[in-house]
């Protein structure tokens, strides 16, 4: 066997998305050879996913023609040859447009391949005493969902160097289904918490009903329960969108509210952050304009330091800081959320219809965020794999006040906007029966970073008109 020595470390993409062949530098002399089989620090900058291997396996094969496969496992694997030579065949068995795509090549100690989850792999030995080794990023379990393809499938039409009737094949591998009968391996799951809330319902409408999308409420998944780390097989998940939160801003100023706000907005987020970090999951965390004190004279950017005024804001800022420790994270900072449920616009619509002329706060400035636009923006970031980090996400349009929004609601519903009386925050809450949390006077968020990703939220008055029409 001849090994090519001295090749530079280099990746070569294949027609199957994510399947990448790696040339490895092998250094040899009369004593033998040495190579760095997997080198994270060098390979990540060249495009190898930071796939987090947890197990190293070796397959030793006595005879030429030993053939194994075609197996698609629910984990990523990095395959290399320790000694000998193999012919490899890979078939995309994932749900999607490249289902059935085929790639073949030979591997020796100077070549390795990264095989993404759901791509079927098969190997045929071309030399006796061949051993190949593979790193995987999940522990084997008998309950793991596998997908298989028959080695002799006519559609894949793999050009085996040694005809299959001469090869050493297990009885089980001979009975795998043809491509037409294969059930594609679904993608890793997306978990959406808080599915019954305003944002949760909008996320359900945005993401739809699919086997790989899971919606939970606090009754089906308690984020504060100590058993959360074992509540799911978390390696099956790719993304967690945490739409569950404590949002009763004034109640958070009470002893029980303070406890509940910290439990939902910080403690639960910490538990999800640990799970996301340990299992290579993207964590999407919903933040708030309330992490700021509102004294800045210009719109807040993602790099402005938090300075919350109230308990709710402190708990949200804590959740932000925790989420920022997750390698794959999106912190979505939003404001004045309006969706399917009890909210300011619905209240104004009801008051207008009942002939009531309300006092409305006119010294807080910001932009509303409609949950349909918020959900669409989150989906855009996760679908396009935008750079991880913090993004401001509200509707666009001129900054406004609650009183101006109320006037617009009255106007669009056919009522006189002059029925709205503007008042200060102090006067509005002057006779409040319970504690009142201080609010930021400036909640305007700068949207430039979000827009650079290609997502332009709708103007808030357009979304308001559509919301009222529904």
Task: Find the catalytic residue in 78, 132, 134, 207.
Answer: 134
Do 26 and 34 touch, CB atoms closer than 8 A?
yes
Cα-Cα-Cα-Cα dihedral sign, residues 283, 288, 293, 299: positive
Measured in residues, the chain has a length of: 470
The reply to whether 285 belongs to the active site is: no
The DSSP annotation for 172-214 comes to HHHTPPPGGG--PBPPPEEEEE-TTSHHHHHHHHHH-S-TTEE
Q: Is 134 a catalytic residue?
A: yes
**CA–CA gap between residue 239 and residue 212 (Å, rounded):** 11
Please give the C-alpha separations between residue 86 and each of 107, 112, 114, 167, 172, in angstroms, as whole numbers. 5, 11, 15, 13, 21
- Which residue among the candidates 71, 233, 379, 388 is catalytic per the annotation? 71
Say if CB 193 and CB 241 are below 8 A apart. Answer: yes
Angstrom distance (rounded) from CA 87 to CA 81 = 11
Distance of alpha carbon 242 from alpha carbon 374, whole angstroms: 13
Q: In the chain, how long is the greatest CA-to-CA distance?
A: 95
Angle (CA) 300-284-310 rounded to 5° is: 50
Please answer whether residues 151 and 176 qualify as being in contact, where contact means their C-beta atoms are separated by less than 8 angstroms: yes
Cα 450 to Cα 301: distance, rounded to the nearest angstrom: 11
349 three-state secondary structure: helix
CA distances from 115 to 158, 166, 328, 360 (A): 18, 27, 21, 59
Cα 427 to chain centroid distance, Å, stands at 43
DSSP, residue by residue, 314-327 = HHHHHHHHHHTTSS
Distance (Å, whole) CA 385 – CA 13: 19
Sheet holding 237-242, edge to edge: 213-215, 189-193, 237-242, 282-288, 329-334, 389-392
Active site residue ranges: 71, 134
């Amino acid at each position: 066997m001849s090994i090519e020595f001295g090749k530079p470390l280099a990746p070569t993409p294949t027609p199957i998305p994510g399947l990448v062949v790696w040339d490895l530098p092998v250094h040899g002399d009369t004593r033998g050879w040495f190579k760095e089989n997997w080198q994270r620090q060098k390979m990540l900058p060249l495009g190898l996913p930071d796939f987090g291997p947890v197990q190293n396996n070796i397959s030793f094969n006595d005879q030429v023609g030993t053939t194994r496969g075609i197996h698609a496992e629910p984990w990523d694997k990095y395959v290399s040859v320790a000694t000998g030579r193999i012919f490899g065949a890979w078939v995309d068995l994932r749900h999607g447009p490249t289902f059935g795509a085929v790639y073949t090549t030979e591997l020796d100690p100077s070549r390795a391949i990264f095989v993404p989850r759901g791509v079927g792999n098969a190997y045929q030995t071309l030399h006796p005493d061949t051993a190949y080794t593979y790193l995987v990023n999940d522990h084997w379990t008998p309950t793991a969902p596998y997908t298989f393809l028959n080695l002799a499938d006519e559609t894949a039409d793999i050009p085996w160097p040694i005809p299959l009737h001469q090869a050493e094949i297990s009885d089980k591998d001979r009975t795998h289904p043809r491509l037409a009968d294969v059930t594609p391996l679904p993608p890793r799951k997306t978990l959406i918490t808080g599915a019954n809330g305003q944002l949760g319902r909008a996320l359900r409408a945005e993401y739809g009903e699919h086997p790989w999308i899971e919606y939970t409420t606090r009754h089906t998944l308690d984020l504060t329960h100590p058993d959360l780390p074992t509540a799911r097989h978390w390696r099956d998940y790719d993304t967690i969108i945490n739409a569950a939160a404590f949002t009763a801003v004034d109640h958070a100023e009470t002893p029980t509210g303070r406890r509940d706000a910290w439990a939902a907005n910080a403690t639960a987020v910490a538990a999800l952050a640990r799970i996301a970090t340990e299992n290579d999951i993207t964590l999407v965390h919903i933040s708030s304009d309330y992490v700021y004190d509102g004294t800045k004279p210009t719109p807040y950017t993602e790099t402005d330091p938090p300075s919350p005024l109230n308990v709710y804001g402190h708990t949200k800022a804590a959740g932000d800081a925790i989420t920022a420790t997750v390698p794959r994270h999106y912190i979505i900072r939003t404001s004045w959320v309006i969706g399917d449920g009890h909210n300011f616009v619905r209240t104004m619509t009801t008051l207008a219809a009942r002939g009531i002329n309300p006092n409305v706060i006119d010294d807080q400035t910001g932009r509303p965020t409609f949950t349909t636009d918020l959900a669409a923006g989150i989906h855009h970031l996760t679908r396009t794999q935008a750079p991880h980090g913090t993004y401001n996400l509200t509707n666009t349009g001129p900054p406004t006040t609650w009183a101006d929004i109320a006037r617009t609601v009255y106007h669009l519903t056919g009522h006189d906007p002059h029925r709205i009386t503007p008042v200060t925050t102090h006067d509005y809450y002057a006779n409040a029966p319970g504690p009142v949390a201080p609010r930021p006077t400036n909640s305007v968020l700068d949207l430039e970073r979000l827009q650079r990703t290609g997502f332009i939220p709708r103007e808030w008055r357009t979304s308001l008109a559509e919301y009222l029409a529904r």
